[in-house]
Amino acid sequence: MSLLSKVAAHLAVRRVSFAAVGGVALAVRGVARSTFDVDLLTMDAATLAEAFWAVVERDNAALEVRRGDADDPLRGLVRLTSRDERPVDVVVGRGAWQEGVVKRAESFALLDVLVPVVRASDLVLLKLHAGGTQDLWDVKQLLDTDQDGEIAREVQSRIAEVPRGAAIAWKRIREG
């Protein structure tokens, strides 16, 4: 059983909603980009407690918890590592709009487990919010796969929900 399987099963047992984001989600949505870790987004701050992960740690996983401060766009991050496996980062979001991102996720088979993966439009919103150079490149790559314009329409319908910086980045991308 992979580390991702263990983490996903643990989150399911604890009734914690989550969804895959980042490079793995990009790959599922048709954009190939090198990534070694698996990023999962949740809104549940309980995952930032080391005790929450005791069962997974007993299976020889190393744990690192980083908490965001009040100005950080994230509540925190939990990194789980195990020898010869992809690390799993559990990103704890902040903001009601991200709850919708997790709720709208769709199940896909990743490695040896079924995992919810964010929709392409929601991945665009997350990338716009992150706002880094690589993130904006990822947005452009996702939009290049948008043959019928559905992704762009979904992003446009939700852009008012995201922080202002993401909306500004979306406008710049749309204007070329």
Please tell me whether residues 108 and 168 are part of one structural domain. no
What was the pLDDT predicted at 110? 85
> Which of 90, 118, 146 finishes a domain?
118
CA distance 140 to 138: 5
Q: Give me the mean pLDDT over the 154-166 stretch.
A: 96
91: pLDDT confidence band, cut at 50, 70 and 90? very high
48: pLDDT confidence band, cut at 50, 70 and 90? very high
Nearest to 170 by CA among 146, 145, 140: 140
Q: Is residue 111 predicted with pLDDT exceeding 90?
A: no
What was the pLDDT predicted at 70? 85
59: pLDDT confidence band, cut at 50, 70 and 90? confident
> Which of 118, 138, 168 finishes a domain?
118
Q: Is residue 143 predicted with pLDDT exceeding 90?
A: yes
CB distance 19 to 102 below 8 Å? yes
Range of the domain at 112: 1-118
> Which of 118, 143, 166 finishes a domain?
118
The proportion of the chain whose per-residue pLDDT surpasses 70, expressed as a percent, equals 100
Please tell me whether residues 6 and 73 are part of one structural domain. yes
CA distance 71 to 59: 34
Entry pTM = 0.94
133: pLDDT confidence band, cut at 50, 70 and 90? very high
Please tell me whether residues 52 and 110 are part of one structural domain. yes
158: pLDDT confidence band, cut at 50, 70 and 90? very high
Q: Is residue 153 predicted with pLDDT exceeding 90?
A: yes
150: pLDDT confidence band, cut at 50, 70 and 90? very high
What was the pLDDT predicted at 36? 85
Please tell me whether residues 125 and 63 are part of one structural domain. no
CB distance 75 to 66 below 8 Å? no
Q: What is the mean pLDDT of the chain?
A: 94
The proportion of the chain whose per-residue pLDDT surpasses 90, expressed as a percent, equals 85
Neighbours of 172 (CB within 10 A): 11
Q: Residues near 99 by Cβ (< 8 Å), separated by ≥ 6?
A: 43, 93
